[in-house]
Amino acid sequence: MSIQNLKITFHLDGTGVYYDPYEPIHLDALLAWALMPFHRQKGSQAPTRGEEPIDVPLPLDKWRIGGTWGWKASALFPEGATAESLQYWRKRFRQSCIEITSGSPNLQNGTYREYNTPLPLLLCHRMVAYAVGDRGRVEQVLRKHVKYLGKKNAYGKGKILSVDTEIGEYDWSMYKEGAPTRFLPAPEGSRLVRPRPPYWNSYGRVLCGEVENPHEKA
């Protein structure tokens, strides 16, 4: 595996991506999600939140801090002009289910309640991430398997038009201009999080510092 400093650019359609700067999407999480089906035993179930997950081998270099390790891959950050928008996701009672209900469904409370859920969107045309790894393999996996970023992709949000990878001069997979670009162990950190995918899993969590957007410091 040829290891290089990389900058990965996701070109989006500009209609908005569900992006939470306090829970940013990490590049290694995208790669692990894409490659997991090839490493999970046939018929096996995904682990629960507290069970030890599979560490999917990724085409990335590793970092080690104390007794903790992770992949050299940053979170994704918006690049260029951005704006914010707020849309609402409407959950409505499915009329096709009327035959399996008894009485009159209560649309104000309970199982059949209808509601609007706010959907904060970041409007941008590019999101970037940094990594140290095999350029060809990283690009291949992302282009083949990752078509959207963020939640609500079934509604067309976060659609990726193309993915470009460039060779960089510096390793910005962990820090850029002093700003941590991913979750990293920190004794005085404010976040208890797993330091590698899957980040939603609570097994092996350690104290980490917050991720900072280096573009906001520029």
pLDDT, tens digit only, all 218 positions of the chain: 789 999 999 999 988 898 888 899 999 999 999 999 888 766 567 778 888 998 999 999 999 999 999 999 999 999 887 777 766 666 654 555 445 445 554 445 545 555 567 677 888 999 999 999 999 999 999 999 999 998 877 667 889 999 999 999 999 999 999 999 999 999 898 899 999 999 999 999 999 999 998 877 55
**What pLDDT does 106 receive?**
47
**What pLDDT does 16 receive?**
87
**What pLDDT does 183 receive?**
97
List C-alpha distances in Å: 188 to 74, 102, 181, 210: 20, 55, 17, 11
Please state, in angstroms and rounded to a whole number, the distance separating the CA atoms of residues 120 and 168. 32
**What pLDDT does 148 receive?**
93
Contact status, residue 119 vs residue 75, Cβ threshold 8 Å: no
Own/partner long-range contacts of 43-49 (Cβ < 8 Å, ≥24 apart) = 47/201, 47/203, 49/200, 49/201, 49/202
Please state, in angstroms and rounded to a whole number, the distance separating the CA atoms of residues 78 and 76. 7
Contact status, residue 73 vs residue 197, Cβ threshold 8 Å: no
Please state, in angstroms and rounded to a whole number, the distance separating the CA atoms of residues 61 and 180. 17
Contact status, residue 60 vs residue 131, Cβ threshold 8 Å: yes
- Residue 205 CA, chain-centre distance (Å), reads 17
Q: Which amino acid is at 22?
A: Y
Q: Which amino acid is at 28?
A: D
**What pLDDT does 100 receive?**
46
**What pLDDT does 6 receive?**
98
* pTM for this model (two decimals): 0.83
